[in-house]
Chain A
Amino acid sequence: MPEILGLIIGTIITLMIFSYLLGDNILYRWALALLVGSAVGYATGIAVDFVWQQWITPALSNTDPAANLTYTVPLLLGSLLLLKGFPPARFLGKISVLGNIPLGYLVGVGAGVAISGALTGSLIPQVLATGQGIRLDAGILELLQGGVVLVGTLSVLLLFAARPKSQPLGRETLSISQRSIRQLGGFFLVVGLGAAFAGAITSALTAMVIRLSQINDLAHWLMSSVGR
């Protein structure tokens, strides 16, 4: 029964979303608001529960001052961060500058983690993987595939690196080699963007098909129920 109820509600909301085909209407807006509101509400509840469970409750229940300091400092910094939400014109806005302390800490830690991870997890492995396909012991197809990967990677990088020199009257001068590399890099870039667009369409179609399959299942259930 809960499954059927879920199917029915899901079908109704799906049809409300499909009503956008006829134009902006209140049904679509309501369905959209339902999705956004439920997501935001759930996220807020999770965040509050996380903070309460993970930090406030241990800080209140813990009697060890050192341990309390471990929980108190993050709570204090988080409270200062809340001040950033006030507009500058208000009275509290004048002390919103105190929120820059935890904000700076977050930005600094995040930048450090991101940089270190990007260096070891993305840059170096990707550089190694770019030329991995070009091996003497590899087959022709693998060699060709590796060559295409290498050429495509380099040409796209050079597309953004090599810029034409600006001349008077807005004329740009480029050499033949520069122009050819820029064109090749542009080709690979367009192909990559097209593949990303295709993936997005696939995801959308997949969601649509799955929704329709569930509607189909509901229809079958209704028909069978009616038939009984």
Chain B
Amino acid sequence: MIRCPTCGMLNQDNSKSCSNCGTILPQTKVRCPECGTLNSVGNLLCDNCNARLIQPEGIIPSNLPTESDNRAEGSPVKGISLPTRATANDSDVPHAGEDELPDWLSGLTEDSEEFSETAGSPAEEPGDDEADSSSGHPDWLSGLLDENADFGAADEPDEAEHKTEDELTFESDALPDWFVGEAAPDNEPTPDSADDSLYELPDWLLATADTSDTPAEASETPDLPDWLTALSEATPTETPVDSELPEWLAEAQAPITDADTNIVLDAETQPATPEPPIQPSAEPQLSADLPDWLSAVDDSEESSNIELPDWLREPAETPVPDLSAQPHGDAAGASEEEIAVSTAEEAAPREAVVSEVGEVAPTDTPERPAISPASPEPQPADLPAWLAGLEVSTTAPGGVAIFADDNKRPEKLTAQSEENPSQLEDIKPTTEASQYEPAEPPLIQGDTGIDWEEKLTFSEDTPAEIPDWLRGLDISEPKEPQAPSGIFGENMPAPAELPNWLQELRPQSSPATLFGVSNEPVNADIPDWLQALRPEPGEASGAAARLAGLPTPAEPEGPLQGVPGVLQAAALIDAPAGVKTVAKTAMPESVIAQAQLWQSLLERPRSAERPVSQAQPPNEAAVTLIRLLVAAIFILGSLGAFLLLPEGLRLATALPAQVAPGAPALIEGLDALQPGDRVIVAVEYGMAYAEEMSQIAMPVLQQLTAQQAEITIVSTLPEGAALGAALTAEAELLAAEAEVQPGPAQLDGGYLAGNASGISAFLSQPDAQAAHHILVLASRPERLRWWIEQVQLAYGSAPTPVSLSVGVSASAGPIVAPYLRTLQIQGWLVGLPDALAYRELRGVEDVNSAARTLDVLMLAHWAAGGLLVIGLLVSLVAGKKGARQSHA
């Protein structure tokens, strides 16, 4: 079936235009885009190759006029249209809908236009309503405009040029105080001075503002810190800066001389200026301007007065070796005091500039050993005690061996060791470590994998060199004698005194340590319900073994495609033992099968070969042939019967009373009418049923005419009254031929509008109330029902009952049969057989013609019945065959 795109009516597949509205229908067949097979319009998939025929966008064929065609024809396009902003060129063009803008919006648009034009011009005073109303600006905007206008007016009051918003500035009065700051009233900005136009800066910021390059002005700002002031006052000519240099910085700038040859090394031979070694005891002279913390570090003469931490002071006794690339040579073995003195002596003649870091004074530089491949290796510097006690492990994290596994303090870290002058050799890896055999990665469970924690221990020789801050820690001794492990190893420092509040937090079972955390795990407080779910040891091990044995599948897709072991095969959360899984909801097999089918269809790739539809497409030629065969049987058979049947032969030999049980009652009812009795004839059929109904209505009207009844033709159909009038006229003509006196003039009740309401209104009239008989000739059941119901309603309480007779078509007969069996109807005729029976019972002439028509109708019924039976048998056989094929 083809659905009309205009009215939606279903049409036959072969229809080229709609039977309802006449719209040209699209092609009755849809060609498959892949195989070219012609398919029916209603098919979604091709019958041959199962390709999709209808696009997801819609089911309307493409050859129908689209929206673009409608637009071309001038039909309006309905949709959402956003309003457009008027451009500058359209200022003269009246905007459509401009009058329709609300007031508040039109006011704003006016404001925006006026604002751009009158910005900067003298504006009205704020608060002037008239001004605001005249300009159209709201108050808040007018206020801003006034402010801007006043400010700009002072500058160029006569100019009416546009000023952009950037040019506009705000008066200080319009700004809040916090923004303006402590702006003095006198500091009114003038448009001439750019500086004055700036808002007042706070004092601290002004103090730092560099408005002049002279140091005198800078000195006027008293708020600068001393160190910053000192830096700003520094000049290249000043020499006292040399005395202010810290020793470490001065030494860095000093030229390097060879220790043996005392030759000053130039920049090419000198290595990069390294960071000087840590010499906490070096106390060069400090200037008064240096901060205290720095002065304390740099003042060597006052070292005794300055409180240095022990760890910082102690290395003075044991000088730290210069681990940098620039050993000091003699200075390496010399004490720091000697170095400090040497630097002090150099401070005066030194002309190094602080700002010019990197330049080295060429004269009076301490002798420094040179570093060259051929030069002797310098002596290692003294190490502080706490650093000297460190024993470097031979293995770094990860198992890479670097140093020799020597528990003893290596010689390279000995402060007074004179062996191994080369520092490079000291850090040279040993033979064992040189293999760099990586150790196996430690297990994650129970091992941090950090070996250096166990390796770093303090030697027994330097227990007193532990700094105070480290010594003060409360490191409780382990319960069990442990191997040298932990940071402190065998020499565990004394535990520090913890405050009471911290001691209260100490867990009972675990040692209160800060660094020396026990390696034993602390049992957590597991609740009882969780304890019950603990798996058995055997189960755990088995589970672990199972987990270990599970293969780690490779990733099927993604950037890690093909890489196994990305995700562990074990579940992240082990299910507790003994937990029973919830039974799944019982799903019917049909649902499961359907879901599986959907899944298989969705998983099938597009390139997969699609199955061919089992349903065979109907053969159009066969369908047309069958249609023609049936038509030939009916038409030719009927014509043949009319031509070939003899005149006197009657095939329908049934008695009329048996054929039409309602005919005798109708005859009796009509015979009871007297001449002049009013009979209402309701003609409720159209031209489609005129052939059949005329066969039924004509004999009845002939009888009514013969009885000289007053006939009133009415109808709820526009054409019904005309048909009834034509029938009545023919009946009168026949009566005149039969020399029967006609009755009173036919009354034309006309067209009754409103269906049941019109019938009710007609029957309520006095003329209708005076009727003796009502004859309803209907082709549709509902029209007969209207008349029956309204007659029952209108004449139920009437003093004289009115009889009602009915003549219906064969199609309405089975449906109105319940009404025919009631006492409401007095006589009825259904279809052509009843009409012929009525003729025979009445003895109307020209019965043979009617009998011939009835015989041909009977033969047509036999043919229709035979074809139905044949079609039923064929469908049964074909259906079974199709079922067998599908099962096969």
The answer to whether B692 touches A203 (Cβ under 8 A) is: yes
The answer to whether A205 touches B792 (Cβ under 8 A) is: no
The answer to whether B756 touches A117 (Cβ under 8 A) is: yes
Residue of A nearest to B19 (CB): A32
B809 proximal to A (CB < 8 A): yes
The answer to whether A39 touches B719 (Cβ under 8 A) is: yes
Q: Known: A47-B718, A117-B792, A210-B692. Is A203-B853 also a contact (CB below 8 A)?
A: no
B689 proximal to A (CB < 8 A): yes
The answer to whether B860 touches A209 (Cβ under 8 A) is: yes
The answer to whether B792 touches A121 (Cβ under 8 A) is: yes
Contact of B757 among A45, A113, A129 (CB under 8 A): A113
Looking at the assembled complex, report how far the CB atom of B734 sits from the nearest CB atom of chain A, in whole angstroms.
14
Contact of B853 among A35, A50, A128, A210 (CB under 8 A): A210
B751 proximal to A (CB < 8 A): yes
Q: How far is the CA of A44 from the CA of B718 in the complex (A)?
A: 8
The answer to whether B686 touches A213 (Cβ under 8 A) is: no
In the complex, per-residue mask of A213-228: 1 if CB is within 8 Å of any chain B CB, else 0: 1011000000000000
In the complex, per-residue mask of A102-129: 1 if CB is within 8 Å of any chain B CB, else 0: 0000100110011011101110011011
Q: Which residues of A contact B692 (CB under 8 A)?
A: 203, 206-207, 210
Q: Which of A122-158 contact B (CB under 8 A)?
A: 122, 125-126, 128-129
Q: Which of A41-69 contact B (CB under 8 A)?
A: 42-47, 50
The answer to whether B810 touches A212 (Cβ under 8 A) is: no
- Size bracket of the B interface: 35 or more
Q: Which residues of B contact A38 (CB under 8 A)?
A: 687
B631 proximal to A (CB < 8 A): yes
In the complex, per-residue mask of A166-194: 1 if CB is within 8 Å of any chain B CB, else 0: 00010000000000000000000000100
Contact of B796 among A43, A113, A120 (CB under 8 A): A120
The answer to whether A18 touches B635 (Cβ under 8 A) is: yes
Q: How far is the CA of A208 from the CA of B642 in the complex (A)?
A: 13
Looking at the assembled complex, report how far the CB atom of B761 sits from the nearest CB atom of chain A, in whole angstroms.
9
Contact of A39 among B78, B686, B857 (CB under 8 A): B686
Q: Which residues of A contact B22 (CB under 8 A)?
A: 29, 33
Q: Which residues of A contact B635 (CB under 8 A)?
A: 18, 208, 212
Residue of B nearest to A153 (CB): B818
If over half of A's interface residues share one DSSP class (helix, strand or loop), that class is named, otherwise mixed; here it is helix
Q: How far is the CA of A198 from the CA of B864 in the complex (A)?
A: 10
Q: Which of B75-123 contact A (CB under 8 A)?
A: 78
The answer to whether A215 touches B639 (Cβ under 8 A) is: yes
Q: How far is the CA of A53 from the CA of B619 in the complex (A)?
A: 58
Contact of B824 among A39, A50, A125 (CB under 8 A): A125
A93 proximal to B (CB < 8 A): no
Q: Which residues of A contact B78 (CB under 8 A)?
A: 89
The answer to whether B789 touches A118 (Cβ under 8 A) is: yes
Q: How far is the CA of A215 from the CA of B635 in the complex (A)?
A: 11
Looking at the assembled complex, report how far the CB atom of A91 sits from the nearest CB atom of chain B, in whole angstroms.
13
Q: Which residues of B contact A50 (CB under 8 A)?
A: 750-751, 753
Q: Which residues of B contact A42 (CB under 8 A)?
A: 718-719, 722
Residue of A nearest to B16 (CB): A24
Q: Which residues of A contact B (CB under 8 A)?
A: 18, 21-24, 29, 32-33, 35, 38-39, 42-47, 50, 89, 106, 109-110, 113-114, 116-118, 120-122, 125-126, 128-129, 169, 192, 195-196, 198-213, 215-216
Told that A29-B22, A43-B717, A213-B852 touch, could you supply 10 new A-B pairs with CB distance under 8 A?
A22-B624, A22-B628, A42-B718, A110-B757, A126-B822, A169-B591, A199-B810, A199-B811, A207-B692, A212-B856
7 contacts between A and B (CB under 8 A): A38-B687, A109-B757, A122-B789, A125-B819, A199-B815, A209-B856, A213-B852
Q: Lowest 7 CB-CB distances: which A-B pairs, in order?
A: A121-B789, A117-B789, A46-B718, A43-B718, A203-B811, A202-B810, A195-B814
